[in-house]
Structure 1
Amino acid sequence: MAALDFESLTEATSGAIGALLSTTILYPLDTCKTKYQAEIRAQGQAKYRHLSDVLWEAISSGQVLSLYQGLGTKNLQSFISQFVYFFGYSYFKKLYLRRSGMKSIGTKANLIVAAAAGACTVIVTQPLDTASSRMQTCTFGKSKGLWKTLSEGTWSEAFDGLGISLLLTCNPSIQYTVFDQLKERHLTKQKNNKASGESSKVALSAFSAFVLGAVSKSIATFLTYPAIRCKVMIQAADPDCDGSKEAKPKSSKTVSSVLCSIWKREGLLGFFKGLHAQILKTVLSSALLLMIKEKITRTTWVLMLALKRYLLFVPPKLKNA
């Protein structure tokens, strides 16, 4: 059990640190993307016609640093979510292998394990996700702290968009399924192109893995994007978020009302507004996260191993001191 805990803890810590760094690096892009997605107006009245309009607003108003509003909350949410996800994924995977007696996990079982870990992550971090979305979509320079943002509404409002967030746990499942299919076709093509005298064993190169990963993530994002935009709009701050003393009641947002608003004001293409920004941010974030995670996993494992040995061999008197 100890080995299981430490291995899972290593995966969780590496993933969480990777998420923390990638979130910080890409946060201005994330803020522009979120504000652009959250706006819903008739085409002729749209404040942001392009993603760059959000960046220009921050620059022209002298609020460039406001592109980082809510960064602390987002980092906390990213760190906890990735820690819970990687720990849960590693734990559920090992639990499945132990119970089934198998040496490796199949694709279907892997998708179920990933979905279970994703669901646990969403439930734990949903209030932080809601708060960070409200802080990002609030008027530049008017964002409030985490506690004040959450305390303005009821406890149930902190879980706005939970249903869609749980639905979006299928996004990694779609990504990994597409990735496996593309990988199989790519390796088969490589194998067929090899000379008959050479070894038939082929492997996926780092560049090919990155390209196939980006393509599979883009496809998964495209298929689930209407739900992604609905979630952002449900969690977004009200347009009158200006820090005034008079508290105005928060307008109720439901999935059906958001869908109707998009359809009436923006039409079918409105469901895909900001798709290019979402794909860019998601692909870059995933690439950075996995790159950083792979780079620090060995160091993290060494530190965890040293901690494990210390806890196992330290004299009982020192433990109880």
Structure 2
Amino acid sequence: MAFDVESLAEATSGAIGALVSTTILYPLDTCKSKYQAEVRAHHQQKYRNISDVLWEAISTGQVISLYQGLGTKNLQSFISQFIYFYGYSFFKRLYLQKSGSKTIGTKANLIVAAAAGACTVIITQPLDTASSRMQTSEFGKSKGLWKTLSEGSWREAFDGLGISLLLTSNPSIQYTAFDQLKQRLLKRQLKEKTGTEPSPVALSAFSAFVLGAVSKCIATFLTYPAIRCKVMIQAAKYDDDGDDDETKTAQLKHQKTVSGALYSIWRREGLLGFYKGLEAQILKTVLSSALLLMIKEKISKTTWVLMLALRRYLFTTRTRLKSA
């Protein structure tokens, strides 16, 4: 039972951290997504940089539209982070139990993180697709979750699933780096810890923020071309070039493939196009990840203690009922 309590504590604290960080940084995320989704030759680009997206929202009186899709994104973030942290904690503790080791190595950590990430992606992909479509739609014209998903087939709701599975390497790299750095940083503190109270040792808020930022920055740089392709696939629309409907349908299907997205970037923007919006992505993801991990570290001990108290309460209640 202690195994499940700690996994639930990790999952709950991670999900709450994701919810808070997503809400705080959502306008930046919307600007980033709209900027990434645009694929045009340099002289035809509507947005020269991410600030142009923000200025469009301000100049057209659509600042509130920077929050379009926030509810769906928060739902997706909460569910995905809960599943991820629960799965990550569960698989990691299972590995340690089966192997008899006291610590988990880098390779095993990567496999565990990838397995947890794959489970998360498969379950939450429709929400991810819907939130991406809402963010990249015209300001003031975003539709609700159900209407966004019902416009296409369920197969289209899983647009980008393959590349999303590939991108499980991103959190795998991030959390592996974070865990390894965290273990080294807490090594002395764990050795000096006294007493018999079985409570986890937590990082300081500043340390968690820095480690979260560094680990996410590395992961984002390595996986960015795939990140941009995923946004393009999920937000793919007809090009306004006067072609007939049959040609546009074929074009759209091509745009919704990884090869089609890669070719479109290469043809219209060149090699540097694969890293268009990297600065905005790093700024958003680093801040989001750092905030998430900082919040998670600060509330995980409290969550763990509350769940331990709940377990004891339920055990006591069950014992009393049996003896009555």
Q: TM-score, normalised by structure 1?
A: 0.84
Aligned-residue offset at 1:185: 11
Structure-1 separation of matches of 2:182 and 2:266: 37
Aligned partners of 2:171 and 2:219 also within 8 Å: yes
Asked whether 1:285 is paired with 2:284, we answer no
2:252 counterpart residue number: 251
Of 267, 274, 278, the match for 2:277: 274
Of 297, 311, 314, the match for 1:311: 314
Q: Tell me the amino acid that sits aligned with residue 22 of structure 2.
A: T
1:81 counterpart residue number: 80
CA deviation string 1:187-220 (max 9, x = no partner)? xxxxxxxxxxxxxxxxx99767654543342232
Greater than 4 Å deviation, 4+ residue runs = 176-186, 204-213, 315-319
Q: How does 1:198-277 map to 2 (within 5 A)?
A: 210-211=209-210, 213-236=212-235, 238=237, 251-252=252-253, 253-277=256-280
Structure-1 separation of matches of 2:213 and 2:30: 21
Aligned partners of 2:5 and 2:307 also within 8 Å: yes
Q: How does 1:21-60 map to 2 (within 5 A)?
A: 21-60=20-59
Q: Which sections of structure 2, spanning at least 5 residues, go unmatched?
A: 186-202, 240-247
Structure-2 separation of matches of 1:317 and 1:213: 45
Aligned-residue offset at 1:300: 1.4
Aligned-residue offset at 1:110: 1.1
1:158 counterpart residue number: 157
1:113 counterpart residue number: 112
Aligned partners of 1:217 and 1:283 also within 8 Å: yes
1:66 counterpart residue number: 65
Larger deviation, residues 253-262 vs 13-22: 253-262
Aligned partners of 1:138 and 1:239 also within 8 Å: no
Aligned-residue offset at 1:222: 1.5
Structure-1 separation of matches of 2:85 and 2:291: 16
Structure-1 separation of matches of 2:298 and 2:84: 19
Structure-2 separation of matches of 1:93 and 1:161: 28
1:14 counterpart residue number: 13
Structure 1 residues 183 and 102 mapped into 2: Cα distance closer, same or farther (>3 Å)? closer
Q: TM-score, normalised by structure 2?
A: 0.83
RMSD: 2.9
Structure-2 separation of matches of 1:237 and 1:69: 18
Q: Tell me the amino acid that sits aligned with residue 167 of structure 2.
A: L
Q: SS of 1:150's equivalent?
A: helix
CA deviation string 1:110-161 (max 9, x = no partner)? 1111111111111111110000000000111111110111111111111111
CA deviation string 1:206-245 (max 9, x = no partner)? 76765454334223211211100000000115369xxxxx
Q: Tell me the amino acid that sits aligned with residue 292 of structure 1.
A: I
Structure-1 separation of matches of 2:311 and 2:96: 23
Aligned partners of 2:114 and 2:168 also within 8 Å: yes
Structure 1 residues 47 and 74 mapped into 2: Cα distance closer, same or farther (>3 Å)? same
Structure 1 residues 310 and 182 mapped into 2: Cα distance closer, same or farther (>3 Å)? closer
Q: SS of 1:103's equivalent?
A: coil
Corresponding residue pairs, total: 296
Structure-2 separation of matches of 1:101 and 1:181: 19
Structure 1 residues 220 and 162 mapped into 2: Cα distance closer, same or farther (>3 Å)? same
Structure 1 residues 86 and 299 mapped into 2: Cα distance closer, same or farther (>3 Å)? same
Structure-2 separation of matches of 1:17 and 1:175: 19
Structure-1 separation of matches of 2:181 and 2:317: 50
Q: SS of 1:259's equivalent?
A: helix
